[in-house]
């Protein structure tokens, strides 16, 4: 297949959506498909693109007025598709300007596929703004809509999408990328001053809904002086979290690591005794986690997880199998879960070992995910091809 990928989220920017888009199309290219990625310019992209095996067409960064950028995208994207002679288009995430693909596909009969991750479809059915109406029209026109979890699939179906066209693809990791030398982990431990300490880790944007604040309050409640908390990630909430840590008397036990490059991130997962991410719905929107790739990343390193029992997290974390699920709106519940994991090394080892096996044996690798994409796309195209003659025959036979 000649696959045209139009996306907003892509490396070198960091995040789950960026990882998802890159890993799927990169593996599809490894499988022998011809992939062209169209994505906006961003800081550091020249270095990334130079080392990437993908063909990447960098578009102008977003500019205002929005209507003018939309006109630019409607002029540029169709020409890239035509120049590439694409067989299909793929939208790994629906964003504001994605509608150019359904618009062009309608006139050129170009099959296209869309992936939903949860947040974009987490709204009350029937309450559609103009932007959401445009998105739902695009989803209805897709040959297949893919989701990262069964939870996200149910959200899609709640908006009336055809269940025969909505398939769960999941998410994954590249296991080899998380193999590190023990000496490097110990060097990081010394660098952070964590020798002889028990370590909690969160890898996430510093936002209220990610639950860093409740984890710190749970730490203060437990009063375990040898427990330290490492927060990897950046975000607007950092100053507030630092202030809260100081107020709780945890300033010397909460470490804000900031942005950590992908090649160093496995060191942090291996360093941690427990990975904790207790996302919660802070505004009543239902937007929590569609899946949560970081839970899988922790598990492939043999690290057990404590997670909020919300959204698609239940598909990444099985309670008592690879981690513990708790009520993420309750500080007491978080504290209880942390205490159970921190004080039972045997439980941590069991959950960590089972988590690693689960990732490897249940298809939570990017190679397996991309194979599911490939097989589904090819099957959908075959089904579409076979249906056309029958439709023509029926109409002629009256």
d(CA 62, CA 374): 31
pLDDT band at 397 (very low <50, low <70, confident <90, very high): very low
Q: Superfamily for 175-361?
A: Glycogen Phosphorylase B; (3.40.50.2000)
Average pLDDT taken over every residue of the chain: 94
* For residue 395, pLDDT beyond 70: no
Radius of gyration of the chain (CA): 22
Q: How confident is the model at residue 125 (pLDDT cuts 50, 70, 90)?
A: confident
Span 130-141, pLDDT tens digits? 889 999 999 999
| Mean pLDDT, range 260-270, rounded to an integer | 95
Residues of the chain within CATH 3.40.50.2000 domain(s) are 2-172+365-397, 175-361
**What is residue 66's three-state secondary structure?**
helix
Q: Give the distance, in angstroms, between the CA of residue 67 and the centroid of all CA atoms in the same chain.
A: 29
Q: How do residues 325-366 score in pLDDT, each as one tens digit? A: 999 999 999 999 999 999 999 999 999 999 999 999 999 999
Nearest alpha-carbon partner for 204 in 158, 181, 238 = 238
- pLDDT at position 389, please? 64
> What's the confidence (pLDDT) of residue 284?
64
Give the percent of the chain with pLDDT over 70: 96
Residue 115 pLDDT level (bands cut at 50, 70, 90)? very high
Residue 98 scores a pLDDT above 90 = yes
Higher pLDDT, 193 or 288: 193
Count of all residues that appear for the chain in the document: 398
Structure token digits, residue 174? 């590249």
Say if residues 11 and 48 touch (Cβ distance below 8 Å): yes
Residue 253 has pLDDT above 70, yes or no: yes
List the alpha helices (DSSP H) in the chain. Answer: 16-30, 45-51, 66-84, 100-108, 130-141, 150-158, 182-191, 212-222, 238-247, 265-271, 293-300, 313-316, 331-342, 345-361, 366-397
Residue 158: the pLDDT is: 94
Which of the following CATH numbers is that of domain 2-172+365-397: 3.40.1440.10, 3.40.50.2000, 1.20.1740.10, 1.10.340.30? 3.40.50.2000
pLDDT > 80? residue 304: yes
* pLDDT digits 0-9 by tens, 14-61: 888 999 999 999 999 999 999 999 999 999 999 999 999 999 999 999
pLDDT of 396 strictly over 80: no
């Amino acid at each position: 297949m000649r696959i045209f990928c139009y996306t907003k989220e892509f490396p070198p920017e960091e995040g789950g959506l960026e990882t998802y888009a890159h890993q799927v199309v990169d593996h599809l290219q490894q499988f022998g498909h011809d992939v062209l990625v169209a994505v906006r310019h961003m800081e550091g992209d020249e270095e990334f693109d130079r080392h990437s095996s993908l063909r990447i067409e960098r578009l102008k960064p977003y500019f205002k007025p929005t209507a003018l950028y939309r006109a630019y995208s409607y002029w540029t994207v169709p020409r890239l598709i035509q120049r590439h002679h694409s067989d299909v288009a793929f939208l790994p995430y629906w964003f504001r300007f994605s509608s150019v693909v359904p618009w062009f596909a309608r006139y050129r009969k170009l099959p296209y596929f869309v992936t939903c991750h949860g947040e974009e479809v987490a709204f009350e059915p029937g309450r559609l703004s103009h932007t959401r109406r445009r998105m739902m029209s695009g989803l209805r026109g897709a040959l297949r809509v893919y989701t990262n979890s069964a939870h996200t699939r149910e959200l899609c179906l709640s908006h009336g999408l055809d269940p025969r066209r909505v398939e769960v693809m999941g998410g994954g990791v590249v296991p080899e990328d998380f193999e590190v030398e023990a000496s490097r982990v110990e060097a990081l431990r010394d660098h952070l001053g964590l020798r002889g300490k028990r370590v909690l880790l969160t890898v996430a944007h510093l936002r209220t809904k990610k639950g860093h604040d409740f984890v710190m309050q749970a730490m203060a409640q437990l009063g375990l002086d040898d427990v330290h908390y490492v927060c990897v990630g950046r975000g607007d909430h950092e100053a507030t979290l630092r202030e809260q840590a100081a107020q709780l008397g945890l300033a010397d036990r909460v470490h804000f690591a900031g942005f950590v490059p992908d090649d160093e991130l496995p060191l942090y997962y291996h360093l941690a005794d427990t990975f904790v991410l207790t996302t919660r719905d802070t505004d009543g929107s239902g937007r929590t986690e569609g899946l949560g790739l970081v839970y899988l990343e922790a598990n492939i390193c043999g690290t057990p997880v404590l997670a909020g029992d919300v959204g698609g997290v239940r598909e990444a974390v099985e309670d008592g199998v690879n981690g513990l699920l708790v009520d993420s709106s309750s500080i007491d519940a978080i504290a209880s879960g942390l205490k159970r994991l921190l004080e039972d090394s045997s439980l941590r080892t069991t959950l960590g070992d089972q988590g690693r096996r689960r990732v490897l044996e249940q298809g939570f690798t990017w190679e397996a995910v991309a194979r599911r994409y490939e097989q589904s796309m090819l099957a959908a195209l075959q089904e579409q091809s076979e249906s056309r003659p029958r439709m023509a025959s029926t109409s002629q036979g009256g």
